[in-house]
Amino acid sequence: MSQNQSNIVWQHGRVTRDKREALFNQRGATLWFTGLSGAGKSTLAFLLEHLLVERGYKAYVLDGDNVRHGLNANLGFSAVDREENIRRVGEVARLFADASMLALASFISPFARDRALVRELHEAADLPFVEIFVDTPLAVCEERDPKQLYARARRGEIADFTGISSPYEAPEKPELTVTTDREPLACAEQVLDYLHRRGIIRL
Amino acid sequence: MSQNQSNIVWQHGRVTRDKREALFNQRGATLWFTGLSGAGKSTLAFLLEHLLVERGYKAYVLDGDNVRHGLNANLGFSAVDREENIRRVGEVARLFADASMLALASFISPFARDRALVRELHEAADLPFVEIFVDTPLAVCEERDPKQLYARARRGEIADFTGISSPYEAPEKPELTVTTDREPLACAEQVLDYLHRRGIIRL
């Protein structure tokens, strides 16, 4: 079939964002979950992924499991490598959002500067960046301690452990703050309400 | 709302791939376009993206423009950096495919070993990797030379230029070979037919 036999009008270049978002029935966006280890970030991110997919939305969780063993397998835990870890995740989230996906990124990301850089690269591309502070007190996280990481950090077996021997810089102006003293589903619905109000999804 | 007020059965963990693929009406996969500079890889990848999106499929082009300036902005053109460039793109494509997207990756990727690594990481995740050799002869690419890169490479102004001063290792067993002496649309339809036959899309 030659091009003049086709009724497809093709302009060399990208599919427009408007067209893609109309097809997906959602705006591309990054939801960035930040908080202490054990705060409940991944629980919330995976629950939201389920709720969104149930409703026909396209969402995908980026987290340590699918990033640290792959894209960032060549990074360690030095200060420089942690910064690069967040930078790369931020860039990948931006690619997902540019593809009109909802990227749900769940990383401790303790440093305000690193999160600000990820925000900036989204805003420069006119893509929504939704910072969600999972605000669980250190004492609660330490009591949960599912992987016994806090116990090990207290014994000095883990260096630079966020909240114990390395700072967590809480967001000053997050788009959302969730407190996991409530049911996970209530927290998830708080996020869904926000996405709806902002026109990212239509519910 | 507490969890027992909801009819949502949520198991902690990922949305299954089956569920996601049913929602998207497609299998996640990576289409990897390899070939010389000027071979027509990006033209074909962007045309395919248009055709797929027109038909309701979810496709996204990863190429130098959205990767080299972002995720891989901290990489140069040394041998080590070129290898890392392809590795990272391969990991990102795998994440897109795992999210049930069609990732269309357009990179010269001259070295068989680098492409083999990307193939392996897809196969390890049970995700289709479709290597598409855009087989345009060097003489044709050099005659097109839209950015005058071949001319500059011949003058020695660009080091390690694929096809001139650095080898291109053609795929031995690509899933598809396209020759761009035909219309772009004919090449694109060859790829669409393959995706259909393999059950990645339903057309």
Tens digit of each residue's pLDDT (9 = 90 or more) over B95-109? 999 999 999 999 999
ipTM of the complex: 0.91
CA separation for the pair A53, A56 (Å, rounded)? 5
Q: Which residue pairs from B53-57 have beta carbons closer than 8 angstroms and sit at least 24 positions apart in sequence?
A: B53/A15, B53/A19, B53/A20, B53/A23, B54/A8, B55/B201, B55/B203, B56/A23, B56/B25, B57/B24, B57/B25, B57/B26, B57/B102, B57/B201
Are B29 and B129 in contact, with CB atoms under 8 Å apart? yes
CA separation for the pair B17, A198 (Å, rounded)? 29
CA separation for the pair B33, A63 (Å, rounded)? 28
Task: Give the model's pLDDT for residue B112.
Answer: 97
pLDDT digits (tens, 9 = 90+) for B33-92: 999 999 999 999 999 999 999 999 999 999 987 888 899 988 888 888 889 999 999 999
Handedness of CA B102, B131, B191, B105 (dihedral sign): positive
- Per-residue pLDDT for A64 more than 90? no
Task: For the beta carbon of residue A193, count every other beta carbon within 10 angstroms.
Answer: 12
Start-to-end CA distance of chain B, whole Å, equals 42
DSSP string, chain B: --GGG------SSPPPHHHHHHHHTS--EEEEEE--TTSSHHHHHHHHHHHHHHTT--EEEEEHHHHTTTTTTT--SSHHHHHHHHHHHHHHHHHHHHTT-EEEEE-----HHHHHHHHHHHHHTT--EEEEEE---HHHHHHH-TTSHHHHHHTT-SSS-BTTTB-----SS-SEEE-TTS-HHHHHHHHHHHHHHTTS---
Task: Give the model's pLDDT for residue B76.
Answer: 85
Choose among B141, B130, B121, B142: nearest CA to B171.
Answer: B130
- Give contacts of B21 with chain A, Cβ < 8 Å: none
Question: Is A70's CB within 8 Å of B95's CB?
Answer: yes
* Minimal CA separation from B155 to chain A, in Å: 30
Minimal Cβ distance to B91: which of A70, A84, A101: A70
Task: Give the model's pLDDT for residue B23.
Answer: 86
Q: Can you tell me the mean pLDDT for B183-201?
A: 95
Question: Is B6's CB within 8 Å of A185's CB?
Answer: yes
Task: Label each residue of A76-124 as H, E or C.
Answer: CCCHHHHHHHHHHHHHHHHHHHHCCCEEEEECCCCCHHHHHHHHHHHHH
Per the prediction, chain B carries an average pLDDT of 90
pLDDT digits (tens, 9 = 90+) for A67-97: 888 999 888 888 888 899 999 999 999 999 9
Q: Name the residue in chain B with its Cα closest to that of A99.
A: B60
Question: Is B53's CB within 8 Å of A23's CB?
Answer: yes
Task: Give the model's pLDDT for residue B55.
Answer: 92
- Per-residue pLDDT for A10 more than 70? no
For B:1-40, CB contacts with A below 8 A are: 1-3, 6, 8, 10, 12-15, 19-20, 23-24
Cα–Cα–Cα angle for B117, B123, B126, rounded to 5 degrees: 150
- Per-residue pLDDT for A66 more than 50? yes
- Per-residue pLDDT for A11 more than 90? no
The domains located in chain A, with CATH, are: 27-197 (3.40.50.300)
pLDDT digits (tens, 9 = 90+) for B131-159: 999 999 999 999 999 889 999 999 999 98
Task: Give the model's pLDDT for residue B5.
Answer: 38
- Per-residue pLDDT for A26 more than 90? yes
Task: Give the model's pLDDT for residue B11.
Answer: 52
Question: Is B1's CB within 8 Å of A183's CB?
Answer: yes
Q: Tell me how far CA of residue B30 lies from CA of A148, B33, B87, B104, B132, in angstroms.
A: 38, 10, 14, 6, 10
Task: Give the model's pLDDT for residue B109.
Answer: 95
Task: Give the model's pLDDT for residue B174.
Answer: 98
* Minimal CA separation from A56 to chain B, in Å: 7
- Give contacts of A68 with chain B, Cβ < 8 Å: none
pLDDT bucket at B110, cuts 50 / 70 / 90: very high
Hey, of B1, B41, B83, B117, which one would you mutate to test binding to chain A, going by the most A CBs within 10 A of its CB?
B1
Task: Give the model's pLDDT for residue A52.
Answer: 95
For A:95-114, CB contacts with B below 8 A are: 95-96, 98-99, 101
pLDDT digits (tens, 9 = 90+) for B65-79: 788 889 998 888 888
Task: Give the model's pLDDT for residue A14.
Answer: 82
Q: Which residues pair with A31 in a beta bridge?
A: A104, A130
- Per-residue pLDDT for A5 more than 90? no
Q: Can you tell me the mean pLDDT for A127-144?
A: 96
Task: Give the model's pLDDT for residue A23.
Answer: 86
Task: Give the model's pLDDT for residue A78.
Answer: 83
Task: Give the model's pLDDT for residue A136.
Answer: 96
Tell me if chain B has a CB within 8 Å of the CB of A183: yes
